[in-house]
Amino acid sequence: MTFPRVHAHFTVHSGHICYGELHNIWQGALAEPSDGLTAVQPSVAGTVMTHKLDHNVSALNGTWKAFRLIDTTEPRLVGWFVAHESVDVLQEIDKILRVSGSPYEEDSGSQYNNEKTMKEDVVGEDEFDPSTFALRIGAGLVDYVEAKVEVMFWKDVPEGHRDEEQRPHGLWLDVPQNEYSFGRFGFDDKQSAARSFLFFGIETVFTETVMAGMQQPLRKFETHEERFQRRLQEGFDFRGMETLKMMAVPSRLGSSPADGDLLGPHTNDERLFQAEDFAALLRRNAKNLDFIDPWRDRVEFLLNELLMSYLERYILPLDRSFATILSAAQALTRQRAPQQNESRTLDFYLFQFLTQPREDPIPDWDAAAVAARVRAFLVSRSGEQLGLFSSNEWIAGLCRCFAWLIEEVLELASNGAKDSYRSNIMPADVRIAVCNDSELFSIFKYSRVYWDGSE
């Protein structure tokens, strides 16, 4: 059996360590010592998300050992792992990579500090003040009370050579040919003191990285299909709620609806589209994507919820307000008769299908069955079958609009699935597709299920 090879070690005796570039370490030495694991909120800095502590952290006293991380393809130094002597090194780094590993690799947890990372005793600090043109990143790790002494020593050592100097109470971690750096602290079970530190850069690929002295990469390589199938078996959450939360910021999409304005969820027997209806629409999509169990029903439920919230929000109020299909279509889409060279907006297509529902028929799509379900849904909420809801042409136009809307969502969702190297559409793809399209978002944003993930 092989074991990781220790490159260097140092001693902590103050119960705290300072870290970062030289000026960061000095700053940490001037700051009050921190107490255990604390919630660290992310902040935006340029093109990256950073997490800033006060550059000191409580740490276990005793000997800390440093291990070099080596790229197996060249080979070259691509990172460091430093841990207290009591730590199971391989188990600890595996946990950190799972909870908050590289933001450039799949299944690496969260790149932001949150409840999940805190629960797993991991906290990250990203971007150790690299120069825009730097090809080398470095950071020091040093005992709190010895910090100023170590800074005064290291400042006279040329960059690129500091890691060659063995110091009793500190260590310099140097990673060549990297622009940005990432740091991850692992804490003890009581969350009272750090016990490990992972330091790496954007060039670190953990499926191609080993600890010096070892042959097994730190992470197992998987094909995209292998990863997808494993996630299915493990019960991975494909709803996309965290991504939606990050994407749906007010500055980009406007304010989200108030809770009182959200509609749904609706009952299963109210669904407008059945499995065979979605199958017919998917066959028209040239990308040959489909839904997959056990997520098939949840995708279909979410898509139906989008449609039913749209019906309630925008279609129900039209029933007795307009006498003709043309006037209702104009009011709904803010359109008049489209001009030949007019831009093809969502409203343009909705107007076309509302006023010409027989155009571009969908093969093997049971329009009559969909129409019956749409009419039943509307009548159940309007109380009587009066006004526009009594018009077969109006209902047919609505059904054709809904089919077109679902086709648009599926087209965009299939792009997202392909970008994720999947051949199956998941709820996350639907949510992201709607969020990325301002027109679709404007009409579907009132679905409660869209926001709460209760499909």
- CA torsion through residues 200, 203, 205, 211, sign: negative
Q: CA-CA distance, 203 to 105, in Å (whole number)?
A: 11
Provide CB contacts within 8 A for 328, sequence distance 6+. Answer: 318, 321, 322, 354, 388, 394
**134 and 201 in contact (C-beta within 8 Å)?**
no
Q: CA-CA distance, 244 to 305, in Å (whole number)?
A: 17
Backbone angles phi, psi at 345, to 5 degrees: -90, 175
Q: CA-CA distance, 149 to 297, in Å (whole number)?
A: 63
DSSP 261: G
User: pTM score, two decimals?
Assistant: 0.75
- In the structure encoding, which two tokens stand for residue 372, read together? 């019956």
Q: How far is CA 134 from CA 55, 131, 137, 178, in A?
A: 21, 5, 7, 7
Structure-token match 């276990």, residue found: 60
- In the structure encoding, which two tokens stand for residue 331, read together? 């009011």
- pLDDT digit string (tens) for the chain, length 455 residues: 688 999 999 999 999 999 999 999 999 999 998 887 765 555 544 444 444 567 899 999 999 999 999 999 988 999 999 999 999 999 999 999 999 899 888 888 877 777 788 888 888 765 544 333 334 578 899 999 999 999 999 999 988 888 888 899 999 998 887 778 888 999 999 999 999 999 998 889 999 999 999 999 999 999 999 999 999 999 999 999 988 988 876 655 667 889 999 999 999 999 999 999 999 999 887 667 899 999 999 999 999 999 999 999 999 888 778 888 888 889 888 765 555 556 788 999 999 999 998 888 899 999 999 999 999 999 888 876 667 878 899 999 999 999 999 999 999 999 999 998 898 999 999 999 999 999 999 999 999 999 999 98
Total residues found in the chain within this entry: 455
